[in-house]
Structure 1
Amino acid sequence: MKIPRYVVIAAAVVVLVGGAAAGYVAWKQYEASQLPAGIVGINGRVEATQVDIATKIAGRVIEIVPHEGDIVSPGEVVALIDTSETMAQLHEGQAAAALARQTVATRQASVASDEAQLQFANEEMQRTAALVAKGWSTHEVYDQRTQQLNSADAALKAAKSQVDEAQASVKTADAKVEELQAVIDDSTIKSPVRGRVQYRLVEPGAVLPAGGKIATVIDLSDVYTTIYLPGPQAGRLKIGDDARVVVDAAPEYVFPATVSFVAPESQFTPKTVEVQSEREQLMFRVKLQAPLQLLKDIEDQVKAGLRGVGYVRTDPAIQWPPRLAVNLPPADQAGK
């Protein structure tokens, strides 16, 4: 059966129109995916500052509280170091400090007694001097009273010196107690930042030297994306410039960021730079810092090592295209 010509023509028109429409859609999608001049997109990696939590004192680890993957807050206990020996020394130091204070009290009582003796000797000498002036007493008795006064004065000075020594002993004992208490306080290892425990480097029972590392924590307040840009592009960036980040794990979202660091020296640099092609090989490391409030909202989803694309504007006058408008996860999803 022969197909009518008009049917063939109609079918051809449909195919052409459909192809044209598909081509138009594909072209618009391609056009939308292109970046305008002045905006650069380049592969990068999400990174975070790693904080090594270590012990200030040597000792045996008796407990490590968080597990790998747990989030710890600033001041939260991470580990405990055995302080049984230090505790015994602390009790001994506290007893020595109490004894030193008792000695001070005893010395002060002696000072009070010596002051009374000095006053009495002074009064006796004055009375004797009056009697000698009237001829009712001898100079020998007056000399005796003077000697007693001098002895009482020397005794008072010695007693006051002993009080000073006793008070110095109290300060020494208190300093020792404070030192031992500081060691005990340092035995409770606390996290200095809010972060996620990445590694537990030791387990309970390990004996560590001073400075021994216990755990590595990712600081959730210092998360950034590292990218590398050629010199001509990196040289146009300033600290604080607006940026965008899209991670492979969630390509539907666009995260805001700012340029927080541009390396002062290039990487992958040839030993000598003589021609244009070599100068174009110079790459500079750039950090795109995520806002702190955003990190707080999505801290459960923050993972160092995620790959993605970082976008920067080498021309601040250029507007971000619609597909790079900030688009964050819903609040209920961010908390999951």
Structure 2
Amino acid sequence: MKRIIVFGGIALALIAVLIWFGKKNSASPIEYETEKPFKATIVKKSVATGKVVPLEEVEIKPQITGIIDRIIVEEGAIVKAGDLLATVRVVPNEQSLQSARGRINSVQIQLNNAQTQYERNKKLFDKGVISSQEFEASQLSYNQAKNDLKNAQNDYQIIKRGSVGSAGANTNIRATTSGMVVEIPVKKGYQVIQSNNFNAGTTIATIADMTKMIFEGQVDESEVGKLKKGTNIEVALGAIEDKKFPAVLNFIAPKGKDEGGAVQFKIKADVSLDEEHFIRAGYSANAEIVLNKKDSVLSIKEALLQFDRKTEEPYVEVKTGDQEFEKREVKLGISDGVNVEILEGITEDDEVKIWNKVSKDEEKKEN
């Protein structure tokens, strides 16, 4: 009984194997489809990433060191040259203040002495005791001493109040150009430093002409050699969908910078704005730059190309009969990543094998 069961199992296994081989051999062979070359316009583009910034941007800095007392305008305000932006309250340096007071006292002593000599010499000159030259020398010293005292007093007022008189010329921060206030990096109570030969000074406000915008971006070293000044490009902004702004390339950096192992070159382009959209400074942007363009050239899809494993030369398989193909080497032109120009190797009448198309059975398995 056991032998019958064993032999029966073996027989069933053999039958199953024979059925599987029969189905496999009866499966239809792979049938390849073909496509014909076609005429197409191929545009090779380079995309530069960057942002849009104002062409003219001015930083307003104080002429004195002090503390922000008032901020008159807000970010986004339109101002004209000369408009008041903020006021600064002077906090005098105690050492400088004491030094200025000491200079006033010193000059006052000199003035008192010069005045005494002048009055004495005047009496002597009126009596004819001294010459006019000696009298004029004492008069000059007296006038110089008066002028020195006035200058010392002005210096003291500048150190103490920031200006001479009540006009507040230095404490009032005014716009030096017309435009929009795009940034106010300080607040009331902030301490600010004046601009001088050793310090750039504290920026109180930044004013820009928002009607003139430029694109600033970077391109890779492999493509910078193909760019030319005056090239028309299109700028797409991340904040504005389905809209591209025309621009003209006007600057290509003569020196690149190493960023993450790749050398990048800065480019700039004048952007043409419209009245419909308000472009804010700092919008992220992509610029499409046409490197090469060919109209109505013989083309195929890049997916139809194959490459020889030994020579790495491109080739396609051309139909010669029913599911029969021959290998043809081709010479390629420009490519846009989807279609590629064919210079030599095939004609418009040839049928090219679609060698990498997934069959319906394979699609079902993947699903």
Provide the TM-score with structure 2 as the length reference.
Answer: 0.46
